[in-house]
Structure 1
Amino acid sequence: MENYLIPGFRFYPTEEELISFYLQHKLEDDGDDDLKQAMDQIIPILDIYNFNPWDLPRNLQVIMKGF
């Protein structure tokens, strides 16, 4: 059975909760390749020192194209 929220209930995580959840799972190496791949799509790895600051938004759009 799928988990559904009751009518009128909303899910509003704080930015801190979202970041800590995703970063924790991204940094942990639990051997789950599917989860690691999903985390790499949600929080892409980009070496910012290889780009000029004004090029970063364009590069991020290319990486995040699927979202």
Structure 2
Amino acid sequence: MITRMRPAGVLVGYAVQAVDGLVGTIDRGTYDRGRLVVMAVTGEPVTLPVDAVQRIDHPGRTVYLGVPRASVKA
């Protein structure tokens, strides 16, 4: 579980990678409600709980999830 995160605006544009492939890119995020909104590779917005985030690679602009793509719901 991530305990320290940067402001949501910093993550906009980051790629989101599940354990089995690319989910999409971060469109916007709100931490006060524990959610990130991701623009999926299908073009549809997907809301993710912040608890799904395993790690964040800021130099690589990628958010890694600890869950498979199938568990990410639109």
Give the TM-score band, short-chain normalised.
Answer: under 0.3
Which protein has the bigger helix share?
1
TM-score, length-scaled by structure 2: 0.23
TM-score, length-scaled by structure 1: 0.24
Higher relative contact order (CA 8 A, sep 6+): 2
Which protein has the bigger strand share?
2
Larger radius of gyration: 1
